[in-house]
Amino acid sequence: MDTNTNFKHKMAAHCETGTLVGLLGNAGLEITEPMAFGIAHGIFFGYFESKNFPFPTFIVRTRPGEVREKLAKSLKIDINRLKFKNQEKGMQKLDDLLADGRCVGAQVDFFYMDYLPEWIRVHNNVHFVNIVGKDGDDYIISDSYHHQIAKLSASLLKKARWAGGYMAPKGFLYYPEKIITKPDLKKPIIKGIKKASWNMLNIPIPFVGVKGIYKFADKINTWPKLTRDTEHLSHEIMKINILLEDQGTGGAGFRYMYATFLKQAAAIVNNPTLDEMSERIMKIGDDWRNISYFAAKMGKNRDLGSDKIKELSELIRKQGDAEKAYFTDLKKVY
């Protein structure tokens, strides 16, 4: 196996932060996943209805790619970014970078990652992996969601890199060029906290931030009308659990990871208030986790009457209230 052997594979909660932390670690900058997420103010909420998706959905983090860009800006990391119209050139460039001993981050359609269990693989163009070597016609992949280094055939990698469609990867590759190995994290931490609070409270769009949580609470009451039958509704309700817990969030829609960030941040900036805020968001996370359990049970038991959906809606609305109060207080810290 022709691997760039200095790369240490490690599972991570989230693919974008996982690949980024892996690439930076490989280049000499050790930073934890929650720290990368927090500095890049990744915590978020948004509720979306679009023909790009087969059903309404929600996100619990900022736009894919933003964590990478914001972290690079905050820590003054020079990142090389490459996109390719020509697939052959894009594959050749990847081979050249690997031959140079580089490890390369790539954006791919998650569906084609055939080393992962079939039941989790859906078409999603914003999955990130690190490509760390080549073995014959196979590429050696470090995927944050896989417990070990994996292999992916060149043909599947090609499909995944040029999948087309919503947020198409367009062969996107990236790798750090120049880094500071021991950056001062104090200012980036404070800036990240301020921006996260602003994003959750002040973006003037009615379906993002805290407003997005309320929108979700309202709109979930309309879901029965949008589904084919009871089993479809059950599936969509159970997907709430997937989106909050299993789709690379670290649990409770990134709220547990953010709590860990604030705990680490409190020690670095020497501010005990952040410790308290860390405990608070951990508890808010527990309530999101309870919503996940509640939704899973509802779906499994086909307990999908309007009263039950209203109950779920009210639980989500309470999360809106809790996060509104929380981010208002967090904003006051700095």
* Closest C-alpha among 201, 289, 282, 240 to residue 34: 282
The residue type found at 254 is F
**Binding to another protein by residue 51, rule CB under 8 A?**
yes
Position of tokens 């929650």?
A: 34
Q: How far is the CB of 173 from another protein (least distance, A)?
A: 20
Residue span binding another protein (CB under 8 A) among the ranges 38-46, 118-126, 194-202, 307-315: 118-126
- Both tokens of residue 85? 């119209």
User: CB neighbours of 251 closer than 8 A, spacing ≥ 6?
Assistant: 13, 244, 245, 257, 285, 289
**Binding to another protein by residue 143, rule CB under 8 A?**
no
CA contacts within 13 A on the Cβ side of 298: 27
**Binding to another protein by residue 282, rule CB under 8 A?**
yes
Position of tokens 């948004």?
A: 46
Nearer to another protein, 144 or 313 (CB): 144
Strand 127-135 to strand 2-3: parallel, antiparallel, or no bridges (unpaired)?
Answer: antiparallel
Residue 100 CA to residue 104 CA, distance in Å, equals 11
Q: How far is the CB of 80 from another protein (least distance, A)?
A: 27
7, 24, 33, 134: residue in contact with another protein (rule CB under 8 A):
33
133, 245, 253, 316: residue in contact with another protein (rule CB under 8 A):
245
215, 289, 304, 313: residue in contact with another protein (rule CB under 8 A):
289
Residue 77 CA to residue 223 CA, distance in Å, equals 43
In the chain, % helix, strand, coil (3-state, to 5) comes to: 55, 15, 30
Nearer to another protein, 138 or 198 (CB): 138
**Binding to another protein by residue 310, rule CB under 8 A?**
no
Residue 281 CA to residue 259 CA, distance in Å, equals 6
User: CB neighbours of 200 closer than 8 A, spacing ≥ 6?
Assistant: 43, 44, 45, 209, 210, 323, 327
**Binding to another protein by residue 243, rule CB under 8 A?**
no
Q: How far is the CB of 97 from another protein (least distance, A)?
A: 26
Q: How far is the CB of 10 from another protein (least distance, A)?
A: 9
Residue 186 CA to residue 324 CA, distance in Å, equals 25
**Binding to another protein by residue 140, rule CB under 8 A?**
no
Where in 155-174 is the site for another protein (CB under 8 A)? Answer: 156, 159, 163-166, 168
Q: How far is the CB of 212 from another protein (least distance, A)?
A: 19
Q: How far is the CB of 308 from another protein (least distance, A)?
A: 17
**Binding to another protein by residue 53, rule CB under 8 A?**
yes
- Provide the β-strand partners of residue 282: none
Nearer to another protein, 204 or 225 (CB): 225
26, 107, 197, 234: residue in contact with another protein (rule CB under 8 A):
234
Task: Give the E-state strand segments of the chain in sequence order.
Answer: 2-3, 43-48, 57-61, 78-82, 104-108, 127-135, 138-142, 150-153, 173-178
Judge contact between 152 and 162, C-beta under 8 A: no
Q: How many residues sit close enough to another protein to count as binding (CB under 8 A)?
A: 56
Strand 43-48 to strand 2-3: parallel, antiparallel, or no bridges (unpaired)?
Answer: unpaired
Residue 178 CA to residue 265 CA, distance in Å, equals 24
**Binding to another protein by residue 194, rule CB under 8 A?**
no
**Binding to another protein by residue 319, rule CB under 8 A?**
no
**Binding to another protein by residue 238, rule CB under 8 A?**
yes
Residue 254 CA to residue 17 CA, distance in Å, equals 12
Nearer to another protein, 89 or 123 (CB): 123
Binding site for another protein (CB under 8 A): 11-13, 33-34, 50-55, 111-112, 117, 119-120, 122-123, 144-145, 147, 156, 159, 163-166, 168, 231-232, 234-235, 238, 241-242, 245-246, 248, 250-252, 256-257, 259-260, 263, 278, 282, 285-286, 289, 292-293, 296, 299-300
